[in-house]
A and B are shown apart, each in its own frame.
Chain A
């Protein structure tokens, strides 16, 4: 079974702190996506990483794809209450018809 292990599953921090969310697998992924979801809404795409070692930045968010394309991380600098939400990593394993496997999700709460 190909799995994406996401950690931590819950994170409660103060405004201004930094944090990192990890997404790991023993399998190779052709790409990895990061989504953010708010209660009662669908996931919203933040970024897609495709190349091993790739780093993408989206304002205070930095995404990295591992060299071997088996892991990824999301780093948030100076978190704000508006960053609160469920963060999901997802990826299509090789030769699986493009369907996505999701990590367990990270519930982030940023307190003012």
Chain B
């Protein structure tokens, strides 16, 4: 149980285009999902908390108009990188909390974004 998927696993796009990344909880409902960014050889940096049916909460320094988050259902959250630039190239990972009030998060396999 507690499986989280992400799609796509890898995407290459041109500068100025937008890219959408999907995060799904496959065998449980997740009222809260999280989006992280990770640079090579570094730890995870939380970007935002995605709450089903309400606006996402962004961490300080993360542009909400650039990284659009939508959590339209209990099993799906999407992150859209708008007007992507080469500096947005990174490994994006989502996670989801299982119901029941525990703090444990289960992570997706990540999406490697390369902006040319």
Complex CA–CA separation, A90 to B95 (angstroms): 13
Looking at chain B's contact residues, the main secondary structure is strand
Closest B residue by C-beta to A97 = B49
Interface residue? B28 (CB, 8 A)? no
8 example contacts (A-B, Cβ-Cβ < 8 A) are as follows A6-B43, A33-B104, A41-B109, A42-B109, A42-B110, A88-B43, A92-B103, A98-B97
> Hey, what's the 0/1 contact readout for B78-116 against A, CB within 8 Å counting as 1?
000000000000010101010000111111111010000
Complex CA–CA separation, A105 to B106 (angstroms): 17
Binding site for B on A (CB under 8 A): 6, 30-31, 33, 35, 40-45, 48, 88, 90-92, 97-105, 107
Closest A residue by C-beta to B91 = A40
Asked whether A45 lies within 8 Å of B110 as measured between CB atoms, the reply is no
Residues in A whose Cβ lies below 8 Å from that of B112 = 40
Complex CA–CA separation, A28 to B76 (angstroms): 32
Closest A residue by C-beta to B108 = A42
